[in-house]
Amino acid sequence: MKTFFINLLDWIYKKKCYFCRQSRESVKMCSKCYDSLEFLSYGKRLAIDGVSVYVAGVYEKNLQKLIRGLKYHNQRDLAFYQAKFMWEYWQNITDKKDFVVVPVPLHKERQYKRHYNHMELVAEEFCRLSGNTLNTKLITRVKNTKPQYKLTPSERAENLHNAFKVDENGSNCDKILILDDICTTGSTFTEMIKTLKAAGITDITCFATTTPKL
């Protein structure tokens, strides 16, 4: 009944597309704007300590607006579209459903200020689409790091040093798929990989929505 009334209100007030501001489809991202998103070539983008890293697209145009809207402007409905974009790319890499999906965690203070972890929302939607298992407890961020985008590569590495901690009860997890929104230098993935491997978790794959344009 609640869903019925929500859908009825959406129909009455015509939800506008966040990107083109049209209301023909009454959705947060219309099909035309979604179809404008472009994939990178399918395949491994780089390797970090033997771990494959995949990236679905380039951080520009509507894909950049999608990520920023979800991450900074409380546009939580956009998590579905980010996850859908990642899942459509990922199906061209593998159709396996035996991954434990781990979103990059936020420090508790930052999550308290933002009220949510945008990558947890994306990971939830990704798991609904893919059939994989979500685990948001395996690894936590214990260091309240600075925002990465203003830092040099060496500063990024120092900023993230010892930033994560693995839950000892989760060290028997099988295949791990780490999800993040942007992979620039790979420093976040690098530190998470190091922390997971130190806990005995070695079957790891990393997947980011975007990478900055070269």
What span, in angstroms and rounded, lies between the C-alpha atoms of 159 and 153? 10
Are the beta carbons of 141 and 109 closer than 8 angstroms?
Answer: no
CB 178 within 8 A of CB 207: yes
Per-residue pLDDT of the chain (214 residues; tens, 9 = 90+): 555 555 555 555 568 999 999 988 989 999 999 999 999 999 999 999 999 999 999 999 999 999 999 999 999 999 999 999 999 999 999 988 899 999 999 998 888 888 999 999 999 999 999 999 999 999 999 987 766 666 777 877 777 788 899 987 755 677 999 999 999 999 999 999 999 999 999 999 999 999 998 7
Summarised one tens digit per residue, pLDDT across range 14-43 is 689 999 999 889 899 999 999 999 999 999
Name, in order, each residue with C-beta under 8 angstroms of 172's C-beta and a sequence gap of 6 or more: none
* 6 token code pair: 């929500």
| Structural domains of the chain, ranges and CATH numbers in brackets | 1-36 (no CATH), 39-211 (3.40.50)
